[in-house]
Structure 1
Amino acid sequence: MAVHISDLLIDTYRGIKNLEMHNLSDINIITGDNNCGKTSIMEVFKNLNNINDINTWLDDIRGGHHKMLPYDVMENLFNIDSDRKELSYGVKKAISKEFLSLRLEAVREVSILSKNELREIASFPNDYNKEVCRFSYRIYCNNLCEKKGMVYNFPTPNIRGGNNSKKLTLVKVKYISPVEHITGDVYLPKVLDSGELYQEMLALLKEFDKNIISINTEKINHPYRNRKVYKVLVKGQKKELPLDVYGDGMKKAIFLMNAVVIAKDGILLLDEFETAIHPSEMNKVFSWILKTCQRFNIQLFLTSHSKEAIDKLLKCVPEFQNMIRVITLYKKENETVARVLEGREAIEAQDDLGLELR
């Protein structure tokens, strides 16, 4: 496995203030009460994939952002109790020991624009209210402004200043939401093209259905787009069955396997990682994820509310316990605090001392 980011310091991000997380490890389980900041931390790490694009900051993993204007999403980014419209955090790269500070600043403005200025942004009817609201934003890395632009409170063809500079990636990041196995499309070419991974996938899927023989793709021609459908061949059946007929557990396992392959040499974020996985399959699925992340040089961050899932993840690969950190977030006055336990310490605290890890 790998440690790409060793430290995270958040000055302010949504509801998080003054949070420090040091000595991050290969496997990091983030837990705590609702609204303690678990999802915010996942967003922070996700942003490292393309920090100088405002769309990355506005890609809200909480869901529903696609139905909102970018202006409204940006407004929701900031701590509602603060007059300062600023997100600020820093990360330390494990290998180079380089510390990088990242900051998004925004100023809310109300402007009266001429008809010609409005037309430069989008097409409007003549009676459109010429007084508009916008956020003027700047994105900084190590106090150097990497991008500036504007986000308006009405639909526009693009976000001004959002896509006109070179992508700045600190580390490759892959994020999987709790419901992506339901809402997302499966895309498995890298798994199917590797004989070793394909056999591992079949062995894992047999935990869900022992009669599975193979999984293949079938190209579907469509008037507007071509797509692939994954089909499963099962003993005793004459025809392959579409993957969609199977339960959420098997589809979630496939999504997780594919995410591990995509995240090679980077960071993998699994939000509520146990969702849809039955307890009887957790050991097998979790073991495969941890062992393959080690092979593929992946640093793993997971969130969970489940005591059972955390316990199984801690114990499914005993030799990895020294590479696990259990990070419990909680609020203390106006700050967010992290309690960090190494894997074996967490098991002892839970089993012998009755400490609640969540």
Structure 2
Amino acid sequence: MNEAPVAPPLLQARGLSKFYETKRGLFGKADYIRAVDGVDLDVYEGETLGIVGESGCGKSTVGQMLLQLLPPTAGEIRFGGQLLTGLPPDKLHAVRRDMQIVFQDPYSSLNPRMKIGDTIAEPLRIHRTVPRADIRREVAGLLEAVGLGEHHMSRYPHEFSGGQRQRIGIARALALKPKLIVCDEAVSALDVSIQAQILNLLKKLQREYRLTYVFISHGMPAVKHISDRVAVMYLGKIVEIAERDKLFAHPRHPYTEALLASLPASHPGERKERVIVQGEVGDSVAAVPGCPFQARCPYARDLCRQTAPVLTEEAGHAVACHFPL
């Protein structure tokens, strides 16, 4: 019996890198901050890929490059099979309808001088996807979809709570009926109870609108709640990718193990083994030989200090470690 063919990824990144030039030393020798360094990602239609890691690991930079908000230094991005890197602005404009973003700060991402109705209607007017006479009805439907009402259209951002403002940001992202939404720390600025409401809303909208998410966060509980697969980043590199349940039950990279060990117990009787990670996050400028995590890894050996590991997949679980757990 032949197996069903696997659908190609909706979004694909290969060798994605972003370097920022900086000057160092007496003679102004150019060095580079390696914000993202050779990332490969596949995102399949209808799934939620979580990207998690400490602040400064490069996950938000990846999200912005996927949407072509930042030009990559190297690598390529394909969306629906179409190469996006180097695409002329007029052709990229059409692709942007299918790719949207929800930002971290729901207040600064909204124009304080625009009424909410105008904010949500703006992409409809720019892309002309809805007749002008139908825009108000469309905006009212989007507000209802995110748990708000038509009467909110005449209000300004400062009249809403943080959770309500994030709902407005989600409604704006939905306006063009995209295929992909990048959620860049979309719940990090919210209270825990509001986080749960927004996460549940995102899951509901995913079912109703057949959405695909790239969910970027430093919060492991949020990533666990919403993701189908999880990619773990450290110093600009992917160190582990697996299905959510597999990764949380059996992490194979020491950094992932340390992240999970830092989570609080889920109930009072649970006992968790502590994983001690020494030192500070490494330097993204200095090109250190070997594994980027080796200076903090409790399991590091000589090979780890000499040769950088390659992300290798086995049974759907990829890890960049010479001695995986």
| TM-score between the two structures when normalised by the length of structure 1 | 0.50
Tell me the distance in 1 between the aligned counterparts of 2:82 and 2:91.
Answer: 21
Evaluate the alpha carbon distance shift between residue 263 and residue 301 of structure 1 in structure 2; reply closer, same or farther with a 3 A threshold.
farther
Q: Which residue of 2 aligns with 1:342?
A: 243
Paired residue for 1:36, among 31, 54, 57?
A: 57
Q: What SS class does the counterpart of residue 269 from structure 1 fall into?
A: strand
| 1:177 is aligned to 2:103 | yes
- In 2, are the aligned partners of 1:191 and 1:198 still within 8 Å (CA)? no
| 1:244 is aligned to 2:158 | yes
Map Cα deviations across residues 188-227 of structure 1 (whole Å, 9 max, x no partner).
45686377655443xx45xxxxxxxx55157xxxxxxxxx
- In 2, are the aligned partners of 1:264 and 1:296 still within 8 Å (CA)? yes
1:28 Cα deviation after fit: 1.2
Q: How does 1:51-62 map to 2 (within 5 A)?
A: 57=70
| 1:46 is aligned to 2:29 | no
Partner amino acid, structure 1, of 2:67? K
Evaluate the alpha carbon distance shift between residue 309 and residue 43 of structure 1 in structure 2; reply closer, same or farther with a 3 A threshold.
same
Q: How does 1:65-80 map to 2 (within 5 A)?
A: none
Partner amino acid, structure 2, of 1:326? V
Partner amino acid, structure 2, of 1:90? E
Paired residue for 2:170, among 256, 275, 284?
A: 256
State the identity %: 13
Tell me the distance in 1 between the aligned counterparts of 2:65 and 2:157.
Answer: 33
Q: Which residue of 2 aligns with 1:216?
A: 151
| 1:12 is aligned to 2:24 | no
Map Cα deviations across residues 335-354 of structure 1 (whole Å, 9 max, x no partner).
7234112122234347xx96
Q: Which residue of 2 aligns with 1:129?
A: none
| 1:193 is aligned to 2:138 | yes
- In 1, are the aligned partners of 2:43 and 2:49 still within 8 Å (CA)? no
Partner amino acid, structure 2, of 1:341? A
Q: Which residue of 2 aligns with 1:328?
A: 232
Tell me the distance in 2 between the aligned counterparts of 1:267 and 1:296.
Answer: 10
Partner amino acid, structure 2, of 1:7? Q
Q: How does 1:156-175 map to 2 (within 5 A)?
A: 167=92, 169-170=94-95, 172-175=98-101
Evaluate the alpha carbon distance shift between residue 180 and residue 191 of structure 1 in structure 2; reply closer, same or farther with a 3 A threshold.
farther
Tell me the distance in 2 between the aligned counterparts of 1:193 and 1:99.
Answer: 29
| 1:299 is aligned to 2:285 | no
What runs of 5+ residues in structure 2 fail to find an aligned partner?
1-6, 20-33, 122-134, 263-325
Evaluate the alpha carbon distance shift between residue 251 and residue 166 of structure 1 in structure 2; reply closer, same or farther with a 3 A threshold.
closer
Partner amino acid, structure 2, of 1:246? F
Tell me the distance in 1 between the aligned counterparts of 2:55 and 2:100.
Answer: 23
Q: Which residue of 2 aligns with 1:77?
A: none
Tell me the distance in 2 between the aligned counterparts of 1:188 and 1:170.
Answer: 19
1:274 Cα deviation after fit: 1.0
Tell me the distance in 2 between the aligned counterparts of 1:166 and 1:22.
Answer: 23
Q: Which structure carries more strand by proportion?
A: 1
The count of corresponding residues between Structure 1 and Structure 2 is 215
- In 2, are the aligned partners of 1:293 and 1:299 still within 8 Å (CA)? yes
Q: What SS class does the counterpart of residue 303 from structure 1 fall into?
A: strand
Tell me the distance in 1 between the aligned counterparts of 2:169 and 2:250.
Answer: 32
- In 2, are the aligned partners of 1:32 and 1:38 still within 8 Å (CA)? yes
What runs of 5+ residues in structure 1 fail to find an aligned partner?
48-55, 59-85, 103-139, 147-162, 206-213, 219-228, 231-241, 315-323
Map Cα deviations across residues 132-186 of structure 1 (whole Å, 9 max, x no partner).
xxxxxxxx45xxxx5xxxxxxxxxxxxxxxx7x6556546221232124334133
Evaluate the alpha carbon distance shift between residue 166 and residue 19 of structure 1 in structure 2; reply closer, same or farther with a 3 A threshold.
closer
- In 1, are the aligned partners of 2:14 and 2:75 still within 8 Å (CA)? yes
Q: What SS class does the counterpart of residue 356 from structure 1 fall into?
A: helix
Paired residue for 1:268, among 155, 178, 181?
A: 181
Paired residue for 1:21, among 35, 38, 41?
A: 41
| TM-score between the two structures when normalised by the length of structure 2 | 0.54
Tell me the distance in 1 between the aligned counterparts of 2:215 and 2:100.
Answer: 12
Q: What SS class does the counterpart of residue 181 from structure 1 fall into?
A: coil
Partner amino acid, structure 2, of 1:346? L
Q: What SS class does the counterpart of residue 34 from structure 1 fall into?
A: coil
| Larger radius of gyration between Structure 1 and Structure 2 | 1
Tell me the distance in 2 between the aligned counterparts of 1:191 and 1:299.
Answer: 26
Greater relative contact order, per chain length (Cα 8 Å cut-off, separation 6+): 1
Q: Which residue of 2 aligns with 1:208?
A: none
Cα root mean square deviation, aligned: 3.6
1:39 Cα deviation after fit: 1.8
